[in-house]
């Protein structure tokens, strides 16, 4: 029987708008952010709802449904909870808010860099520990202004030089050091966070070449000021001109952003109508929690679409569950 906890990693293939509603600030339609840090996030309700919708519309019937003798829709209701009446019983899978791990920023060398900060890394390692995943990364050696030893975003790299310069956007960061623990970190991220399919192998090299750990304040500035902000308009079909008052701005997380969510599984909460499901599982000697995990991982697509403006190709996300032993 498993411990019923895992991590879901997400790589944005296209820009993502997980909106927080309209505001009176500079951006009309901003993205969701943590209140205390200002870091971008995806609400768990948005993530769970998106995944549930895919399960409902995929047309794929899970193998466990036939073994249990129930329909796909009934199994979805058992695992995610009933959609029509949440008072009947709870779901058996829980998704936490998706937290930001790596944020892409334009770089003078190497096209772009993935930036993060000590606070994000420390929180990530702590979150992994909570669900029983040990990274074996020494947090005390993770600090600002370090890159992996294989980094290719360094300016004027020369032999016998211990400190380098990196230029991100229009900002210059000096005294950047190569760090063995940072190299160890990117090796772990490349093995466990990135999708295992062949077309994503190049991302493993990118991870080792493009990551940089900045200070918490610098990271916050980038995730606040370097998101994509798009101006939208509405054209009047009769006049061919912009309608008055129909100009607005939307904020997006850029493509290549990497996030993660903690996923927790439990046994089934079943009302009297579906009590026979528990009996069938007992006869088959299948643990309820393991059944839920098997179902979610079998049905989970490699790519989901989340957030606003799906018809414009926004919100395409590659998904990857943590797997023992890496890739």
Do 116 and 191 reside in the same domain of the chain?
yes
CA distance 18 to 259: 13
- What length is written for the chain? 327
- Residue 90, pLDDT score: 79
- Residue 188, pLDDT score: 96
Do 36 and 166 reside in the same domain of the chain?
yes
Do 136 and 196 reside in the same domain of the chain?
yes
- Does residue 25 lie in a domain region? no
* Closest of 252, 241, 212, 250 to residue 105, by C-alpha: 212
- Does residue 27 lie in a domain region? no
Number of domains in the chain: 2
CA distance 132 to 46: 25
pLDDT tens, residue by residue, 212-260: 999 999 999 999 999 999 998 777 777 776 676 678 899 999 999 999 9
Alpha helices in the chain (DSSP H): 44-57, 63-68, 72-80, 118-130, 180-192, 201-210, 216-225, 275-283, 288-299
Axis-axis angle for helices 275-283, 288-299 (nearest 10):
100
Do 72 and 132 reside in the same domain of the chain?
no
- Does residue 79 lie in a domain region? yes
Sequence-ordered list of residues with C-beta below 8 angstroms from that of 119, at least 6 positions apart, any chain: 37, 216, 219
Do 273 and 293 reside in the same domain of the chain?
yes
Do 136 and 107 reside in the same domain of the chain?
yes
What is the pLDDT of the chain when averaged over all its residues? 88
The secondary structure of 122-158 as a DSSP string is: HHHHHHHHHTT------GGG--SSEE-TT----BS--
* Domain membership of residue 55 as a residue range: 1-18+44-96+258-327
| Whether the predicted pLDDT of 40 surpasses 50 | yes
Do 190 and 106 reside in the same domain of the chain?
yes
Do 208 and 162 reside in the same domain of the chain?
yes
- Residue 3, pLDDT score: 62
| Whether the predicted pLDDT of 1 surpasses 60 | no
DSSP 8-class letter at 30: P
Do 172 and 36 reside in the same domain of the chain?
yes
DSSP 8-class letter at 274: G
- Does residue 164 lie in a domain region? yes
pLDDT tens, residue by residue, 87-131: 677 788 999 999 999 999 999 999 999 999 999 999 999 999 999
Among the candidates 185, 210, 226, a domain finishes at 226
- Does residue 151 lie in a domain region? yes
- Does residue 50 lie in a domain region? yes
Do 182 and 36 reside in the same domain of the chain?
yes
- Does residue 243 lie in a domain region? no
- Residue 31, pLDDT score: 96
Do 50 and 195 reside in the same domain of the chain?
no
Helix (H, G, I), strand (E, B) or coil at 196: coil
Sequence-ordered list of residues with C-beta below 8 angstroms from that of 32, at least 6 positions apart, any chain: 18, 19, 20, 40, 41, 42, 43, 46
Neighbours of 173 (CB within 10 A): 18
- Does residue 159 lie in a domain region? yes
Do 214 and 295 reside in the same domain of the chain?
no
**Rounded average pLDDT over 264-289:** 76
The secondary structure of 49-101 as a DSSP string is: HHHHHHHHHS-PPPHHHHHHT--HHHHHHHHH--SS-TTS---SEEEPPEEEE
């Amino acid at each position: 029987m498993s411990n019923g906890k895992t991590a879901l990693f997400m790589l944005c293939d296209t820009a993502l708008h997980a909106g927080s509603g309209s505001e009176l600030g500079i951006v009309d339609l901003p993205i969701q952010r943590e209140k205390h840090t200002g870091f971008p996030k995806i609400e768990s309700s948005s993530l769970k709802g998106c995944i549930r919708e895919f399960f409902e519309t995929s047309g794929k019937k899970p193998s466990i449904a036939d073994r249990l003798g129930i329909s796909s829709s009934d199994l979805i209701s058992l695992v995610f909870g009933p959609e029509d009446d949440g008072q009947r019983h709870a779901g058996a899978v829980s998704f936490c808010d998706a937290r930001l791990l790596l944020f892409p920023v334009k770089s003078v060398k190497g096209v772009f860099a993935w930036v993060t900060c000590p606070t994000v890394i420390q929180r990530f390692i702590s979150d992994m520990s909570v669900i029983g995943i040990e990274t074996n990364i020494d947090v005390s050696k993770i600090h600002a202004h370090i890159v992996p030893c294989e980094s290719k975003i360094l300016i004027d790299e020369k032999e016998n030089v211990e400190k380098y310069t990196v230029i991100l956007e229009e900002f210059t960061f000096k005294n950047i050091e190569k760090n063995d623990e940072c190299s160890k970190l990117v090796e772990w991220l490349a093995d466990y966070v990135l999708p295992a399919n062949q077309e994503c192998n190049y991302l493993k090299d990118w991870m080792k070449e493009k990551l940089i750990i900045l200070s918490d304040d610098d990271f916050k500035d980038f995730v606040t000021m370097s998101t994509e902000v798009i101006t939208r308009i509405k054209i009047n079909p009769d006049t061919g001109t912009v309608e008055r008052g129909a100009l607005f701005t939307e904020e997006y997380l850029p493509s290549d952003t990497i996030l993660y969510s903690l996923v927790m599984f439990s046994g089934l909460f079943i009302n009297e109508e579906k009590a026979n499901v528990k009996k069938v599982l007992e006869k088959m000697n299948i643990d309820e929690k393991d059944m839920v995990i098997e179902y979610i991982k079998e049905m989970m697509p490699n790519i989901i679409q989340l957030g606003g403006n799906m018809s414009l190709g926004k919100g395409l996300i590659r998904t990857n569950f943590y797997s023992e032993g890496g890739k």
